Amino acid sequence: MAVPLPEQSMHGQWSSRWTFILAATGAAVGLGNIWKFPYLTGENGGSAFVLVYIVCVAALGIPLMMSEILLGRRGRSTPINSMCVLSAETKTSQWWQIIGWSGTVAGMLILSYYSVIGGWTLAYIFKSGMGTFSGASGEIAASTFSEFVGSPGTLFLWHTIFMVITMSIVAGGVQGGLEKAVQYLMPTLFFLLLVMVGYSMTTGFFGKGLAFLFTPDFSKLSGASMLTAMGQAFFSLSLGMGTIMIYGSYVPKGTSIASTSVAIALADTGVALLAGMAIFPIVFANGMEPGSGPGLIFQTLPVAFGNMTGGIAFGSLFFILLLVAAWTSSISLIEPLVTWLIETYGMSRITASLCSGLATWLLGLGTVFSFNIWKEVTLFDLNFFELLDFLTSNIMLPLGGILIAVFAGWLMKVELTKSELNIQNPTAYLIWQTLVRYIAPVAVFIVLLKSVGIL
Ligand code: PFF
């Protein structure tokens, strides 16, 4: 006889659907929306990239997020152990644990470079607060940035500080406190972004910024940029690596998985689009290059802060809130590894955090150096940071996503997914099923093949 699955995770349960939405949005909204989305959009020619990104969020992101929450709620454990339970329940191969493994490793790999950029954010709080950007032109902001990233010692220091604070939060188990703070800080960040969009309207280049983002020019779209747009959809929604599975494992039964997923995706995409609308008018107004890469927001936003009234306070506050957003995401990146070490080896939370943190920090040094002394050290034309980002966002997360889709769509019993998802409307269920069974795996596959030039 099948052993009934636990109704609740051993690590607890969300008090309501609302706390779950907030926590998952906290994990989803981060550097990916405000730092990465604008620079990828700039590098990939703008509007057509944005369109593919939005289509991927709607057609792949939402159904996959539903599947991931579903697997987590059914398995009620860390991604690796949840997949172990679920493969036993569905009588499929234990190999399905690979979903959990690849996600846990991807989380650590992503955090190793995420922490370096988190360190930049930390440094920019101080730079803004000290008035470094008062009256700054685009050129000054750009040279301040290149001097900053050109110094390995400086980046090493900020990366270390970011990592120590992140792992202390994880080790101390004070995520709860942080999540409560996020209830107020996230809406404030959203409001500040709106103010920035308001500032951009005064630059005289708002129309040009909007056209760059929203008037599709398909001539700019290549297989590689489609892959990047898809990878960014996964990255931004934190999909394909088990984070959402862990969060889903704390979701009470009866919560509507569909409407929750839509709410998270809307909030996440909204923040990314606002960031784009704030940044590109400043880029054009100052004659900057939209495709200037990972430094884009650190070169553009300071110009705005330096030239607006109250810009010193406003700029520091903006980077503080971005830092908090980065922390909530960082915690969710390393949580699968930490909880797995605790569950499997019986380690204490402190030891597990120390081991995971140390390994991640060490790996992060590769990214630190890829902005200066290892800048020219490349493999397939990509430096260490670019390679790590490509491997995780564009390969590991989409492949993890396909496996999750196949597992939820093909291997779990229809009655089971129906009752777990709790979708009353049969057409809505059929849409979800078609998307995860056919559309998602085929689409991801086509984009992967296209990007390597096979299609
Ligand atoms: N979604 C986060 C961001 O946009 O910054 C990054 C991230 C967090 C990716 C957690 C993956 C993840 F599991």
CATH code at position 263: 1.10.4160
Q: How far is the CA of 27 from the centre of ligand 1 (A)?
A: 6
Q: Cβ distance 38 to 296 under 8 Å?
A: yes
Q: How far is the CA of 451 from the centre of ligand 1 (A)?
A: 23
The pLDDT of 260-282, averaged and rounded, is 94
Instruction: Output the pTM of the full model.
Output: 0.92
Say which residue, 451 or 193, is predicted with more confidence.
193
How does residue 2 score in pLDDT terms, banded at 50, 70 and 90?
very low
- Decide if pLDDT at 447 tops 70: yes
Residue of the CA atom closest to atom 7 of ligand 1: 238
Phi, then psi, of 9 in degrees rounded to 5? -70, 150
Q: Is residue 52 a contact partner of residue 226, using CB atoms and an 8 Å limit?
A: yes
Residue from 64, 162, 235, 338 whose mutation best tests the ligand 1 pocket (most atoms within 8 A of CB): 235
- The pLDDT tens digits for 185-226 are 888 888 999 999 999 999 999 999 999 999 988 888 888 899
Nearest to 327 by CA among 21, 23, 18: 23
| CA distance linking residue 77 with residue 248, whole number of Å | 9
Distance of CA 104 to the CA centre of its chain: 14
pLDDT tier, 455 (very low <50, low <70, confident <90, very high otherwise): low
> Residue 187 Cα, ligand 1 centroid: separation in angstroms?
18
The reply to whether 3 falls in a domain is no
Q: Is residue 4 part of a domain?
A: no
Atom of ligand 1 nearest to the CA of 30: 5
Q: Whose CA is nearest to atom 12 of ligand 1?
A: 238
228 Cα: distance to centroid of ligand 1 (angstroms): 15
CA distances from 36 to 216, 229, 355, 452 (A): 20, 11, 28, 22
Q: Which of 25, 57, 189, 236 to mutate to test the pocket of ligand 1 (most atoms within 8 A of CB)?
A: 236
Tell me what pLDDT residue 37 has. Answer: 97
Indicate whether 194 belongs to any domain. Answer: yes
Give me the amino acid identity at 251.
V
Mean pLDDT computed over 335-342: 90
Asked if pLDDT for residue 5 goes beyond 50, the answer is: no
pLDDT of 8 above 80: no
User: How many Å lie between the centroid of ligand 1 and the Cα of residue 435?
Assistant: 23
Measured in Å, residue 323 CA sits from the centre of ligand 1 at: 14
Residue 59 lies in a domain: yes
- For position 3, what pLDDT does the model report? 39
25 membership: H or E segment, kind and range: helix 17-28
| Distance in Å, CA 333 to ligand 1 centroid | 7
Q: What is the pLDDT of residues 125-181, one digit of tens each?
A: 999 999 999 988 889 999 999 999 999 999 999 999 999 999 999 998 766 666 677
* CA 376 to ligand 1 center in whole angstroms: 27
Q: For the stretch 21-51, what's the b/e string if a residue is b when 16 or more beta carbons lie within 10 angstroms of its beta carbon?
A: bbbbbbbbbbbbbbbbbbbbbbbbbbbbbbb
**Are residues 243 and 27 in contact, defined by beta-carbon separation less than 8 angstroms?**
yes
Nearest-atom index, ligand 1, CA of 241: 13
Query: Is residue 11 situated within a structural domain?
Result: no
Helix, strand, or coil (residue 133) = coil
Residue 164's CB: how many other CB atoms inside 10 A? 13
Among the listed ranges 15-29, 78-92, 125-139, 311-325, which one has the minimum average pLDDT value? 15-29
pLDDT at 17 over 90: no
Length of the chain: 455
pLDDT attached to residue 223? 87
Q: Could you tell which of 68, 111, 182, 238 is best to mutate to test the pocket of ligand 1, judged by most ligand atoms within 8 Å of the CB?
A: 238
Report CA(28)–ligand 1 centroid distance (Å): 5
Q: Of all protein residues, whose CA lies closest to atom 11 belonging to ligand 1?
A: 238
How confident is the model over 296-322, as pLDDT tens digits? 999 999 998 998 888 899 899 999 999
Mean predicted confidence (pLDDT) in 276-291: 92
Q: How many domains does the chain have?
A: 1
* pLDDT at residue 263 tops 60: yes
Q: For residue 453, how far is the Cα from the chain centroid? A: 27
For residue 2, being part of any structural domain is answered with no
Question: For residue 392, what pLDDT band results from cuts at 50, 70 and 90?
Answer: very high
Q: Which pair of structure tokens corresponds to residue 18? A: 């609302």
Pick from 22-26, 35-39, 213-217: least confident: 22-26
> Which residues contact ligand 1 via a Cβ below 6 A?
27-28, 30-33, 107, 110, 235-236, 238, 241, 243, 329, 332-333
Residue owning the nearest CA to atom 13 of ligand 1? 238
Question: Which of 269, 329, 389 for mutating ligand 1's site (highest number of atoms within 8 Å of CB)?
Answer: 329
Looking at residue 1, what is its pLDDT?
35
Question: What residue's CA is closest to ligand 1, atom 9?
Answer: 238
Q: How far is the CA of 66 from the centre of ligand 1 (A)?
A: 17
φ, ψ (nearest 5 deg) of residue 12? 120, -170
Instruction: Report CA(239)–ligand 1 centroid distance (Å).
Output: 8
- Name residues whose C-beta falls within 8 Å of residue 418's C-beta, 6 or more positions apart in sequence: 429
Residue 102 within a domain: yes
Residue 75 confidence (pLDDT): 85
Average confidence (pLDDT) over 398-413 = 93
Mean pLDDT calculated for residue range 410-430: 89
Rounded CA gap, 107 and 310, in Å?
38
Reported as a pLDDT band with limits 50, 70 and 90, residue 82 is confident
When pLDDT is averaged across residues 327-348 and rounded to a whole number, the result is 91
* Ligand 1, atom nearest to 329 Cα: 8
Q: Which atom of ligand 1 is nearest to the CA of 332?
A: 10
Look at residue 118 in the predicted model and tell me its pLDDT.
Answer: 98
| Span from the CA of 308 to the centroid of ligand 1 (angstroms) | 31
Q: State the closest ligand 1 atom to the C-alpha of 325, by its place in the atom list counted from 1.
A: 5
Residues spanned by the domain of 332: 17-451
pLDDT at 273 over 80: yes
